[in-house]
Amino acid sequence: MPDTRGKGAGVGAALDRAVLSAISGFCATLPMTMVMWRLHRRLPSDERYALPPREVSDEAAGRVVRGGSAGPPGTLAAHFGYGAAAGAILGVLAPRPTLVQGAGFGLAIWAGSYFGWIPATGLLKPASDHPRARNSLMLAAHAVWGCSLAWGLRELESSEASFRGREHPDAEKPGRA
């Protein structure tokens, strides 16, 4: 099978990067979720209400079925699906993202979501209407997601190169310091 990832491969290379980045975004949602859960337990008791993924998914489910709730499985499915969808974008925008670029992307996703489409659709109040500690929790979680996404994407690209029987450009050469 010809290699479609070379320079000038265009749509094929962008699609390959988007798929690898979506997988990375899905996987990066796990450490993000772990950070959210651990920091949530440290919030003041009056701020330990449901985290945004649950609030958003329950509000959306309630619009489909009166009084409906996404429940934990639906919330996790939506949360990980959004992580994958948002992650796919990074692979197209920055094919070889650094951890700093990943963290910045994670923070941009937070801002675009919690000041943008989520309040615009009425699913949740904007972040400015939430307590500072909760916003700090969400910022930290999104930075972790972005770093994990960038790292995961680079690792998947490296392993993908091995599947094709060639070295990745970032691979360390034996005997080099």
- Any idea where the domains of the chain sit in the sequence? 14-163
Examine the pLDDT at 49 and tell me if it is beyond 80.
yes
pLDDT score, position 169: 58
Q: What is the pTM of this model?
A: 0.84
Residue position matching structure tokens 């859960």? 37
Q: Is residue 38's pLDDT more than 90?
A: yes
Q: Is the pLDDT of residue 5 over 50?
A: no
d(CA 55, CA 89): 24
Kindly tell me if the per-residue pLDDT of 3 is higher than 80.
Answer: no
Give pLDDT, residue 173: 61
Lowest-confidence segment of 48-57, 59-68, 123-132 by average pLDDT: 59-68
In this prediction, residue 171 has a pLDDT band, given cuts at 50, 70 and 90, of low
- For residue 125, the Cα-to-chain-centroid distance in whole angstroms is 21
C-alpha pair distances (Å), 121 with each of 2, 49, 91, 117, 142: 44, 21, 27, 6, 21
pLDDT exceeds 90 at position 63: no
